[in-house]
């Protein structure tokens, strides 16, 4: 009986959150560093969200999978400020892996659990209009040191999100699953950091929440302890002191950008934790790090 009462209490605790988020969009970035074993649970979490009236939109990464394919080709990965240097060959492999493999794995898992998912890259409907990333602006805005004459190649940033197709899919009951590949006005393809894409899409869709799933508990301090909440000014100090470094830098930057574009709340959480998304959305305590302006 006690176990049943605990389950009932869990449902009661979730009720105000179900009410608050009913009919609203929540954008979730599914990191490529999260193992395939967690994918089935993630798919179930998304379907539960749909059944209680939430509109989930997924943006996924695929860094480890890209690195694996590059290695098979005898190519090394180089990162600057957490972003992969992308030449023409790397771009071809990145697009093949992100669109042809990772995206398909996610939509197949959702569909196998009786969900309705549609896989997209940023090229479909020109969802993601991109341009070559402005490194000087990136360094200035975020206090990052970048060597002179650095060129990331075909690494892009979002110039504009065209959300019409995404809204149509949402309204039709589908879960959009988006690979972070963008295109410019001349048809050039760009590899874009998935955190950045997730933040921009969350802003364009007026999302109630942006959740960034990764394979660490959240933002850690200098003693490697979890910081449960962090403000913009503190986050930038952590980057400057290199306490926040490597792949966590784009996550923090995109979180702040999303907040400035109107997203209500942004969280960085450990996607390897079972039921991570459900714990974050439907419980009082939540998990991971909440980022605030």
Give 5-42 pLDDT, tens digit per residue.
666 777 778 888 889 999 999 999 998 777 667 898 89
For residue 93, pLDDT beyond 90: yes
Token representation of residue 128? 């993601």
> Going by CATH, does the domain composed of 22-292 fall within 3.90.1300.10?
no
The residue among 242, 222, 235, 233 whose CA lies nearest residue 268 is 235
Token representation of residue 288? 């991971």
Average pLDDT over residues 111-140: 90
For residue 124, pLDDT beyond 70: yes
- What are the phi and psi torsion angles at 120 (to 5°)? -140, 150
For residue 107, pLDDT beyond 80: yes
CA-CA-CA-CA torsion for 210, 214, 217, 223, nearest 10 degrees?
-110
For residue 1, pLDDT beyond 90: no
Which of the four pLDDT bands, split at 50, 70 and 90, describes residue 216?
confident
DSSP per-residue string spanning 94-122: HHHHIIIIIHHHHHHHHHHTT--EEEEET
Q: How far apart are CA 26 and CA 105, in angstroms?
A: 21
Q: Is the dihedral of CA 35, 273, 251, 20 positive or negative?
A: positive
Average pLDDT over residues 64-81: 87
Rg, Å, the chain Cα set:
19
Q: What is the pLDDT of residues 137-149, one digit of tens each?
A: 777 766 667 777 7
For residue 130, pLDDT beyond 70: yes
Higher pLDDT, 272 or 33: 272
The residue among 119, 89, 118, 84 whose CA lies nearest residue 192 is 84
For residue 61, pLDDT beyond 80: yes
Average pLDDT over residues 184-211: 94
Question: Where do the DSSP E strands lie in the chain?
Answer: 25-30, 55-60, 79-80, 83-84, 117-121, 128-132, 155-161, 175-179, 181-183, 189-192, 209-214, 229-231, 265-270, 289-292
Write down the pLDDT at residue 48: 93
Q: What is the pLDDT of residues 236-270, one digit of tens each?
A: 888 888 888 877 888 898 899 899 989 988 999 99
The whole-chain average pLDDT of the chain stands at: 89
């Amino acid at each position: 009986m006690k176990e049943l009462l605990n389950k009932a209490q869990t449902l009661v605790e979730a009720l105000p959150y179900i009410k608050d988020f009913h009919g609203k969009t929540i954008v979730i970035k599914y990191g490529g560093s999260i193992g395939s074993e967690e994918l089935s649970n993630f798919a179930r979490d998304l379907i539960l969200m749909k059944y209680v009236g939430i509109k989930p939109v997924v943006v996924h990464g695929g860094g480890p999978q890209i690195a694996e394919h590059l290695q098979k080709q005898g190519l090394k990965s180089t990162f600057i400020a957490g972003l992969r240097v992308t030449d023409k060959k790397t771009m071809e492999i990145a697009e093949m892996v992100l669109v042809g493999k990772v995206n398909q794995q996610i939509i197949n898992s959702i569909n196998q659990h009786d969900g309705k998912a549609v896989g997209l890259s940023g090229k479909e409907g020109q969802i993601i209009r991109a341009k070559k990333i402005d490194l000087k602006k990136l360094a200035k805005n975020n206090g990052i040191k970048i060597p002179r004459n650095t060129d990331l190649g075909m690494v892009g940033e979002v110039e504009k999100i065209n959300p019409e197709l995404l809204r149509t899919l949402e309204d039709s009951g589908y879960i959009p699953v988006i690979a972070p590949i963008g295109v410019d006005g001349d048809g050039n393809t760009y590899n874009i950091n998935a955190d950045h894409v997730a933040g921009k899409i969350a802003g364009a869709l007026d999302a109630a929440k942006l959740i960034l799933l990764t394979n660490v508990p959240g933002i850690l301090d200098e003693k490697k302890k979890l910081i449960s909440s962090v403000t913009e000014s503190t986050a930038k100090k952590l980057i400057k002191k290199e306490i926040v470094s490597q792949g966590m830098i784009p996550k923090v930057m995109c979180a702040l950008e999303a907040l400035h574009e109107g997203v209500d709340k942004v969280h960085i959480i450990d996607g390897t934790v079972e039921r991570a998304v459900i714990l974050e959305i439907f419980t009082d305590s939540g998990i991971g790090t909440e980022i605030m302006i």
